Structures are given as structure tokens and as C-alpha cells.
Structure 1
Amino acid sequence: MSHDTHSGKCFCGSVEIEVTGQPAAMGFCHCTSCREWSASPVNAFTLWQPASVKVTKGDKNLASYNKTPGSTRKFCTKCGGHVLTDHPGLGLVDVFAAMLPDLDFKPGVHVNYGETVLRIKDGLPKLKDFPKEFGGSGDVVAE
């Protein structure tokens, strides 16, 4: 496996994925949906071009859930482990950073910081919602 290929698996190992190349972006999301889905105060994301993400094992064990048309969240039907989220409007796939243990996670931004329940002082830009190019205001808020 090259340094530009990273593998991950669900909690039980029934579903495995592989990403190749470099992510389009990495960061933290503070929105209510991500917090509720991940059962944590913040979600670490890595965004990839769809062609860079491949399910290599257990595709039949992958189910989907749509709370909104903007996201298709995918999880293992055996263990319930969260695997990835398709964002068709953005043309990107979010592979949760925790799914890729050997990826050098270098976050560049906090999105939806206007909804945060956990203040993080790390010097990274904190966007109220999303960047303008992703349909947000692009407004930066204070740490």
C-alpha cells in the first residue's frame, strides 16, 4: 500500500474501504447533525472525490440513511459502525477521519462553528457555517 492509499474498516470489520490520493479537505464539523450522528461534540472529517473512495469488502453490509437530501450517511448493518457520508451537492464523500488510522490528519478548518457545543482554541479558521463555495456564508467567527 502506497502512502497515498489508506484503508479503514467498520467497528466489526465486515465493511472495509480504501481511499487513494489526497483528500480535498480535512477539518472538524460542529453541526447538530454530525454531532448526533457521531455521538460526539465534534466530528473530524476528510473529504474525497468520489472516484478516490472504494468499498473493498462488505458492500452488501452497507446501509444508508438520509436525514436531509444533502447527505447520505452509510453504516454497517452488522455492527452499526459509521463508515462514510456522500454529499452529492458538494460532489464529495466524507470518510470519517477515525476510519483512516494511518492518514496524517491535518485539519484546516472548523465548519458550522456557530452550532458548537465544544470550544476549541487551535488557531484554525472557525466558520459560522460553510465556505461560500459550498453554499455557506463564509463568515469567520471568533475562537
Structure 2
Amino acid sequence: MILSLLSLLTLSEPEGPHRFVFLGAGRFAQYADLASLEAQGEGGRIRVFQVVEPHFRAGGTSYWGGWSWWRFDCGARGHVDRLDFVAVREGGEEGPATLDDAPSYEAVQGGDAFEIVVAACNPGDYDTDATTLEEAVTQGRANLAVGD
């Protein structure tokens, strides 16, 4: 168990270009990075970026949003488990990972987690929306503005 937690903390951004696909916008704009997709049995893991609105600040620091690794299952129940969260400051500097120990849950249609499962289980159905984090942030903020 300790080894698995340590390996989670040392996961880094995938090498090479990203393959961001837009999942939707609500409180945040969500982008799955299909380049990070790791198949494992009938599911796997994928990294998702949440874009925050422009000028979002916490503790006096400006942020672009944050990354999370998600474990998902493509079976009939479509369970997901958010594994961590890493805040990303303006400019791209990542903070330390905070483990998410909440239990896995069923991804229900209409929710953000459902969109993650659909994209992760059907990556060939998606066109790439952005290949850099900066592009995803710019597009995500534009999508958030549409909802205002």
C-alpha cells in the first residue's frame, strides 16, 4: 500500500505533446489528456485538468486550475475514483499532490465523472482540442465565459 501511494505521488506529466479533449464547462472547464491514458484491464487511469476562471486567486496566488489522476472502469457500472489533486499556478508551476482518499463511485450520466469515463473508454471518438496546457487554459476560460 505504501509503495502504491509513493508511486502515485511521483507520477509526472506525460512526456511529449498533450492530447487535451474538452469534456464540458460548469464551475470549471474540464479537459481529459488522452496522451496520459493508461489502460489497465477493463479500465485504466487518465489525467484530467480543471481550468478555473481568469484571475482566480487563492492565498494571494493566481492559478490556472489543477490536475487530477482518475482511475476508471469501462464496465457496465462505470466507476471512477479521483486519486489526487495538484494545483497549477499561473505560468504552469505545479504544487504538491494531495491524495484524494474518497471512495470510488458510479459515474452517472450528466456529471463530470461520466464525461471522463466516456472519453477514457472511447478515445478514438475525440478530436484533439489542445496540445499544450496554455492552449487548454485559454480555450477553457473562453468556454467558462460563454456560460456567464
Q: Which has the higher helix share?
A: 2
Give the TM-score normalised by the residue count of structure 1.
0.28
Give the TM-score normalised by the residue count of structure 2.
0.27
